[in-house]
Amino acid sequence: MSGHVIKEQMSQGYVVHIDETLGHLWVEHCGEITWDILQAIKNDIWGFEARAVEVYPAQYAVVNNRQMRHLWRLGQHDFCPDLRGITDKGDNLEARFARAWGGT
């Protein structure tokens, strides 16, 4: 992934790895991280107004070789069950991936 800068930042007592190009963060842990802690990390890294998702893939696509949690930041146009219709068409997961992999 050319051009990607991975930052590390402490949050809630964990080292958080952040790829702003993709809008992706991940946290290695010992199996004890809770939803509340992950929400606080999301708030620390991206702010209280940011929305993010964890992905639970089809079983055949699961990669589970470490105790790690991943969050993907959503743009205002990305679908989210609590979507309120406030949007920015240039900031969504699909557009970030296209830019990150050499698209627009």
Query: Does residue 9 contact residue 19 with C-beta atoms inside 8 Å?
Result: no
Q: What is the reported pLDDT for 83?
A: 43
Nearest to 29 by CA among 63, 71, 69: 69
Q: What is the reported pLDDT for 62?
A: 83
List the pLDDT tens digit at each of the 104 positions of the chain: 567 789 999 999 999 999 999 999 999 998 889 999 999 999 999 999 999 999 888 888 888 888 899 999 998 777 665 445 555 556 777 777 777 887 55
